[in-house]
Amino acid sequence: MKERLESMQTEALAELGRVAGPQELNELRVKYLGKKGQLTEILRGMGGLSAEERPVIGQVANEVRAAIEGVIEEKQSAFEKQETERRLAAETIDVSLPGRPAASGAAHPLNRVIREVEDIFIGMGFTVAEGPEVETDYHNFEALNLPKDHPARDMQDSFYITEEILLRTQTSPVQSRTMLSRGGVGPVKIISPGKVYRRDDDDATHSHQFMQIEGLVIDKGIKMSNLKGTLLQFVQEMFGSSRIRMRPSFFPFTEPSAEVDMSCYQCGGSGCRLCKQTGWIEILGSGMVHPRVLEMGGFDPKVYSGFAFGMGVERIAMLKHGVDDIRHFYTNDLRFLRQFARS
């Protein structure tokens, strides 16, 4: 029996020496040490042993079991270590790899232009005012010296919501709102950017919704030369253009009124495609605030005078960035928008 035990041990150790994986190891454990394994099988014959032999064989059997168990445990922990290493290798993170940058948004080109214009005027002491896009007929027209039957209302086809409420056709109603909020006390020095709406058919130069920036200055002794100086400063900072000229024009809310051109910043005034060979580019409408408008705004025209101007943001942006179709600003093609995204 002792020999059987010893040869079983030899065989078991030989087999364990060749074991390739944890599953096979478990099978060998069952084969030799399991309930129905070889060791149990051999020990079943212990009943036939004498009282002296029994403890001797018992001890040999324990030694054999311990030897086999020892090797199994060794193998087991070797396999576990192997598995841990394999997993660690598979899960390695290369901390030196560059990260993926988060995609960041950017300001829309029109908002960029508005911010630029705001910065320039803030630098001249203006503040930024806002007004509603859904406006009353009174502020949009009447308070700007455009009574209901005034022919100049036809210049701006409007989106009416009711008889008295419409989508504002211009940012000029902010003039009226600002004046009324000041209780007839100057000075007023504001610009007001925002969306406006007109019943236009959309094409390369028209959009039923677009943006304007309004300007209004009221104080004692404001003259046309103040208007000219302010606009010249703006044009020089915005476009680097050197001169402006004023042409007589008509707006119901200003008297006198003037269209303002700047000398072409591309050719310097000698004539090119941008300025259609004229050397001048039209950029805005302006004038001295009409006494009636001052009055309706609660300012005494005998004490106060003022100037006002209004420009189209898209036009400024198109000139500044060489964009040839106003619809680009509203169709949100990322290929277009990304050209303006600076980090």
Task: Rank residues 146 and 323 by Cβ distance to ligand DAH and give the closer one.
Answer: 146
Does 309 interact with ligand DAH (rule: CB under 6 A)?
yes
Question: Which of residues 121, 210, 239, 251 is near ligand DAH by CB under 6 A?
Answer: 251
Binding residues for ligand DAH, total number by CB under 6 A: 11
Q: Does 252 bind ligand DAH (CB under 6 A)?
A: no
What is the rounded distance in angstroms from the CA atom of residue 90 to the CA atom of residue 82? 12
200 touches 188 (CB < 8 A): no
Asked if 287 is part of the footprint of ligand DAH (rule: CB under 6 A), the reply reads yes
Rounded to whole angstroms, how far apart are CA atoms 201 and 203? 6
Per CB under 6 A, the list member of 285, 293, 299, 316 interacting with ligand DAH is 285
Question: Which of 40-48, 50-58, 123-131, 304-312 is the region at the interface with ligand DAH (rule: CB under 6 A)?
Answer: 304-312
Q: Residue of minimal CB distance from ligand DAH?
A: 310
Concatenated DSSP letters of 167-227: E-SSSTHHHHHHHHHTTT---EEEEEEEEEE------SS--SEEEEEEEEEEETT--HHHH
230 is an interface residue for ligand DAH by CB under 6 A:
no
Task: Kindly state the tokens that stand for 23.
Answer: 């599953």
What single letter denotes the amino acid at residue 250? F
Q: Which of 158, 254, 263, 305 binds ligand DAH (CB under 6 A)?
A: 254
**x/- track of binding to ligand DAH for residues 207-226 (CB under 6 A):** -------x------------
In one-letter notation, the amino acid at residue 36 is K
Q: Which is nearer to ligand DAH, 299 or 309 (CB)?
A: 309
Based on the shown chain and the rule CB under 6 A, indicate whether residue 299 belongs to the binding site for ligand DAH: no
Q: Check residue 308 for interaction with ligand DAH (CB under 6 A).
A: yes
141: CB partners within 8 A, 6+ apart: 147, 148, 150, 153
**Spatial CA neighbour of 168 closest among 197, 201, 199, 130:** 197
The least CB distance from residue 95 to ligand DAH, in Å, is 59
Task: Give SS3 for 257.
Answer: strand
Is residue 234 near ligand DAH by the rule CB under 6 A? Answer: no
Residues at the interface with ligand DAH (CB under 6 A): 170, 172, 214, 251, 254, 285-287, 308-310
